[in-house]
């Protein structure tokens, strides 16, 4: 698997996050720069690209994974008008990082839109080989596809905002024009050894055949690849066989002898500045006995922020630490201006923590994940009263579950659907990899589900709540009451569909009971948006409520005016 070294690289005023995979021998025959896709596809394929990097290291090759400027954890704004130029410069900087290790033979490998970006950047770089992995051939077609998917599956955005949404991201109109103009030009790859890996459905289309004939390189046909780049659920099927094929092809063309790798790791970078010119600093850290990869954000010239008021983000399902549409990164850097540190981390089996084991995927809500969430909270701050925790869906549940043990200052729970304190074994089995998407979402039509629906409508509430206490069904009062007893102030943010789930699980009855006992959780029913928060305007509401809640819980007054979404307001349930 080699050894991975997270590091900042590139210009000091716009640092990029990279992860360099070095063979165990410390020597490399070639370097491979892996260019990821954009938006949701970047998040979904993160583990697969890491698996390729680990396979390359096993074959004696150095691999560089990285985030483009304005994407992932790298500095910059995702809606920058010059975003496309920034992505191209990021590829050039990543190639420079690879060359600085002393390895001279360079391969560029791009997945989906990453192939489009890599091919454009190749015009300025002397590379030896190129992998076009399930490539997007035209930026214009890509945007048409993304916008159609967004509209059909997510809905419409506020029309007064001119930015353009893709699944998992947002682009400035100028960037849309620049991306739409990109195409893969085979002339730029003249003399370069190439591999074209395309899906079965498009392998014989005129556009692909024209590109393949012009490249005159090698080809691989990708089978069932949609389950990797566009999964039906949060379980992403890694194409292990194709990853092995790609790694073998790259290794076959690499020089026979290796070069000793030289690498200068930067674990600290200035990623932004506050309005009054103070640096917003991020440090790369390792938490707990299992080496959880973490990034800490704070506005300071020195120190680690461990004694500051801190917001800890728990990631969702198998996603890495960036949050929906990069929201956790953006909130962290914004809060730094008000003296609030933030921590984002990867639990084992996700992101940059551990290795990718496709044959033994980590189960969601596992004992190991429980331990990781607790370790992250322990490492984030010295005093739990300096801690607020948040997350979406499973990340929200972990915020609440850990809060019951460490008693932080507050929790903010976004789009929570698991309201039990006790998790039944059947729940873990239901969410295990390989289950049908409907079962994972709780939407199966089994006899058990039908019986639950009848009980939900007709069972007296005390009996319904008793079932919730044993984890048989989801009753909001169960978790909210546990947090009340633990003395943890609680804010809940719910999209339209999650609020409907809350109401269906008789959450409003539970709220009335809680308030009679002196509990007063804040429930923000946004009234629009989707569960994974791919809706742009929902993310803006989450940003506003989260920021205001964190500052209020820490008693921080803000004199500077903040932008508030006035078009879509949230209903606070009282």
CA 118, 123, 129 angle in degrees (round to 5)? 60
Q: How far apart are CA 194 and CA 487, in angstroms?
A: 60
3-77+84-137+183-257 with 268-573: one CATH topology? Answer: yes
Model pLDDT, residue 379: 97
**Sequence-ordered list of residues with C-beta below 8 angstroms from that of 315, at least 6 positions apart, any chain:** 321, 323, 328, 344, 345, 346, 347, 350, 351, 391, 395
The first and second tokens of residue 305, run together, are 């922020």
How high is the pLDDT of residue 561? 43
Domain assignments of the chain as residue spans, ordered by start = 3-77+84-137+183-257, 268-573
Report the top-level CATH class of 268-573: alpha beta
Q: Is the dihedral of CA 172, 281, 376, 475 positive or negative?
A: negative
CA dihedral 100, 102, 103, 107 (to 10 degrees): 10
Query: Residue 303 has what pLDDT?
Result: 47
Over the stretch 303-339, which tens digit does the pLDDT of each residue have? 455 568 999 999 999 999 999 999 999 999 999 999 9
Entry pTM: 0.93
DSSP summary character for residue 389: E
**Which parts of the chain have pLDDT scores under 70?**
300-307, 424-455, 558-574
| pLDDT for the residue 366 | 87
Spatial neighbors of 151 by CB under 8 A, at least 6 apart, are none
Residues 545, 525: Cα–Cα separation, whole Å? 11
Determine the pLDDT at residue 429: 56
Class of domain 3-77+84-137+183-257: alpha beta
- What pLDDT does 444 receive? 46
In this prediction, residue 431 carries a pLDDT of 62
CB 102 within 8 A of CB 259: yes
User: pLDDT tens for residues 68-106?
Assistant: 999 999 999 999 999 999 999 999 999 999 999 999 999
> What is the pLDDT, as a whole number, of residue 567?
35
**What size, in residues, is the chain?**
574
Pairing of strands 31-35, 62-66: parallel
343 and 550 Cβ atoms separated by less than 8 Å: no
CA-closest candidate to residue 338, choices 565, 566, 549, 78: 549
Q: Which residues contact 569 (CB under 8 A, 6 or more apart)?
A: 527
């Amino acid at each position: 698997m080699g050894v991975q070294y997270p590091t900042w690289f590139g210009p000091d005023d716009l640092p990029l996050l990279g992860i360099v995979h070095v063979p165990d021998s410390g020597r490399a025959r070639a370097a491979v720069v892996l260019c990821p896709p954009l938006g949701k596809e970047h998040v979904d394929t993160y583990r697969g690209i890491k698996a390729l990097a680990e396979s390359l290291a096993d074959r004696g090759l150095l691999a560089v994974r990285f985030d483009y400027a304005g994407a992932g954890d790298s500095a910059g704004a995702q809606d920058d008008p010059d975003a496309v130029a920034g992505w191209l410069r990021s590829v050039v900087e990543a190639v420079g990082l690879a060359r600085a290790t002393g390895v001279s033979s360079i391969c560029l490998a791009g997945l989906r839109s990453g192939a489009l970006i890599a091919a454009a950047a190749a015009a300025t770089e002397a590379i030896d080989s190129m992998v076009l992995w399930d490539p997007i051939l035209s930026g214009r077609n890509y945007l048409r596809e993304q916008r159609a998917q967004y509209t059909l599956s997510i809905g419409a955005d506020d029309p007064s905002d001119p930015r353009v949404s893709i699944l998992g991201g947002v682009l400035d109109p100028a960037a849309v024009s620049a991306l739409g103009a990109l195409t893969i030009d085979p002339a730029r790859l003249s003399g370069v050894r190439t591999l074209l890996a395309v899906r079965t459905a498009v392998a014989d289309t005129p556009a692909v055949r024209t590109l393949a004939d012009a490249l005159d390189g090698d080809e691989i046909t990708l089978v069932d690849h949609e389950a990797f780049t566009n999964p039906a659920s949060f379980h992403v099927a890694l194409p292990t066989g194709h990853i092995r094929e790609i790694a073998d092809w790259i290794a076959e063309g690499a020089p026979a002898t290796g070069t000793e790798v030289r690498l200068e790791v930067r674990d600290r970078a200035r990623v932004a500045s506050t309005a009054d010119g103070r640096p917003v600093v991020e440090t790369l850290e390792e938490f707990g006995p299992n080496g959880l990869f973490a990034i800490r954000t704070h506005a300071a010239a020195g120190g680690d922020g461990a004694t500051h008021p801190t917001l800890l983000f728990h990631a969702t399902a198998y996603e890495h630490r960036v949050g929906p549409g990069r929201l956790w990164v953006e909130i962290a850097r914004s809060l730094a201006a008000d003296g609030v540190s933030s921590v984002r981390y990867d639990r084992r089996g996700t992101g940059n923590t551990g290795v990718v084991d496709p044959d033994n995927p980590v189960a969601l809500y596992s004992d190991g994940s429980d331990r990781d969430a607790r370790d992250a909270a322990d490492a984030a701050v010295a005093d739990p009263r300096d801690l607020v925790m948040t997350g979406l869906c499973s990340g929200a549940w972990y915020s609440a579950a850990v809060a019951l043990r460490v008693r932080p200052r507050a929790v903010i729970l976004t789009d929570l659907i698991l309201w039990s304190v006790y998790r039944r074994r059947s729940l873990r089995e239901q969410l295990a990899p390989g289950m049908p998407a409907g079962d994972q979402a709780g939407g199966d039509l089994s006899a058990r589900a039908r019986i639950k629906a009848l009980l939900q409508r007709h069972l007296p509430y005390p009996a319904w709540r008793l079932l919730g206490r044993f984890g048989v069904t989801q009753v909001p009062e169960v978790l909210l009451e546990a947090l009340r007893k633990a003395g943890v102030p609680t804010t809940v943010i719910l999209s339209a569909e999650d609020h409907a789930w809350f109401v269906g699980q008789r959450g409003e009855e539970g709220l009335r009971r809680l308030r009679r006992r002196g509990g007063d959780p804040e429930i923000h029913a946004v009234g629009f948006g989707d569960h994974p928060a791919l809706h742009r305007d929902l993310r803006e509401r989450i940003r506003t409520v989260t920021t205001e809640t964190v500052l209020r819980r820490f008693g921080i007054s803000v004199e500077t005016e903040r932008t508030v979404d006035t078009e879509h307001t949230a209903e606070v349930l009282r």
